[in-house]
Structure 1
Amino acid sequence: MTDKAPSSFSRRAILRAFAASAVTAAPTYSMASGFLRGAGDVRRLSMYSGRTGEKIEMIYWIDGHYVGDAVREINHFMRDWRNGHVMQIDTRTIDIMAASHRLLRTDEPFTLISGYRSPQTNAMLRARGNGVARNSLHLQGQAADLQMRSRSVSQIAQAAASCRAGGVGRYSGSNFVHMDCGNVRSWGS
């Protein structure tokens, strides 16, 4: 009896994924998916959560396919940390985060401030008067609030906005950038 896990990826695809991780592309693409195609058909994400102390660093896309286990791990990582509720994170948002990270040309992971928000958490934050939208895209798993120590809010927002793939909010006073896969728009300072 053998313990061989089923795989939809060839050995060549896995090797190409690791080899392609050293490739860098110029930040001139107008869409997140276009930018990520310059990554050798490999997409990776690196994040840290100060709320839970967890860190993820993984390849979540290889040769035109999302890696199911990796996406499920991202969903869990981006859960509502207040109550543990998990939502499927929209892969377009994941792609925007990954493309923005590549554009920033750093090995430092994003620090996740907020990913998915349950309706209860969103209502509690709205009641506190923190400028939280009633129909926030966080409720649908379509948004993330992120920061980095080595990059300014302006730098992160410029990287996300250059993807032209969703909304980008600058929250300089709170030191984070909102990224979502909704309509292309920007706000804040």
Structure 2
Amino acid sequence: MRQNDSSGFTRRALLGAFAATAVAATPTLSKAAGFLRGGGDIRRIRMYSGRTGERLDMIYWIDGQYIKDAVKEVNYFMRDWRTDQTKSIDLRTIDIMAAAHNLMDINEPYMLLSGYRSPQTNAMLRRRSRGVAKNSLHMKGQAADLRLSSRSVSQMARAASACSAGGVGRYSRSNFVHMDCGVVRTWGG
């Protein structure tokens, strides 16, 4: 984001400073469903992209309200890196990702493998792999493929499934978990 004034502070820097002080107040919840129903005072998402080299550590929700500028940054971060196209990411997907991360009680950011996918990117991936859905929720901004080095695919999938809020796919051979805000279901191994 651009500078707000001549002091050199950006909105991102200010939000980051706030995050550093506010994270200590984040409640640890035993069930993500309570978190998704507004049980926490803040919601935070941490990710990095091996494709773009970008990092994101963002409080995007405080006291029942989504922070518009923070959500815009999450949308940009989760763009289709192949085409540089963005789409509004469904807030339920971001909430599921954040809740699962909170349940795992870790500081490591997710590695984002795939967020939004343009129809062109999805078609290209379908030609290369039979595991890509024709009407993928990635094209609607409702899904993310994520990896953690400190947690197994099984651990990540259990945390996401505990949210009971969408689809959870285990891709053990490729070492990632798919999380979406579609119908509650699980698949993979």
TM-score by length of 1: 0.86
The 2-side partners of 1:66 and 1:88 are apart by: 13
Task: Render the CA deviation track for 1:154-180: whole Å, top value 9, x for unaligned.
Answer: 000000000000000000000000000
Matched to 1:178, the amino acid is: H
Aligned length: 175
Matched to 1:182, the amino acid is: G
The 2-side partners of 1:56 and 1:70 are apart by: 10
Structural mapping, 1:138-177, within 5 Å = 138-177=138-177
Task: Render the CA deviation track for 1:71-124: whole Å, top value 9, x for unaligned.
Answer: 000000000000100000000000000000000111000000000000000000
1:52 and 1:81 in contact (8 A); partners too: yes
The residue aligned with 2:76 is 76
The residue aligned with 2:9 is none
The residue aligned with 1:25 is 28
1:32 and 1:96 in contact (8 A); partners too: no
1:97 and 1:160 in contact (8 A); partners too: yes
> Residue 38 and residue 31 in structure 1: after superposition, are their counterparts in 2 closer, same or farther (change >3 A)?
closer
The residue aligned with 2:62 is 62
Q: Find out whether 1:105 has 2:108 as its counterpart.
A: no
TM-score by length of 2: 0.86
Indicate the percent of aligned positions where both proteins have the same amino acid. Answer: 61
Matched to 1:168, the amino acid is: V
- When the two chains are superposed, the root-mean-square deviation of aligned CA atoms in Å is 2.1
Shift of 1:24: 3.6
2:60 and 2:71 in contact (8 A); partners too: yes
Task: Render the CA deviation track for 1:6-64: whole Å, top value 9, x for unaligned.
Answer: xxxxxxxx979944544442323436513xx343x211000000010000001000111
1:32 and 1:164 in contact (8 A); partners too: no
2:32 and 2:100 in contact (8 A); partners too: no
**Secondary structure of residue in 2 paired with 1:100:** helix
Shift of 1:147: 0.5
1:17 and 1:62 in contact (8 A); partners too: no
Q: Which structure has the highest helix share of the two? A: 2
The 1-side partners of 2:22 and 2:81 are apart by: 35
1:31 and 1:162 in contact (8 A); partners too: no
> Residue 112 and residue 15 in structure 1: after superposition, are their counterparts in 2 closer, same or farther (change >3 A)?
closer
The 2-side partners of 1:17 and 1:64 are apart by: 19
> Residue 132 and residue 172 in structure 1: after superposition, are their counterparts in 2 closer, same or farther (change >3 A)?
same
The residue aligned with 2:120 is 120
Shift of 1:130: 4.1
1:167 and 1:183 in contact (8 A); partners too: yes
> Residue 16 and residue 51 in structure 1: after superposition, are their counterparts in 2 closer, same or farther (change >3 A)?
closer
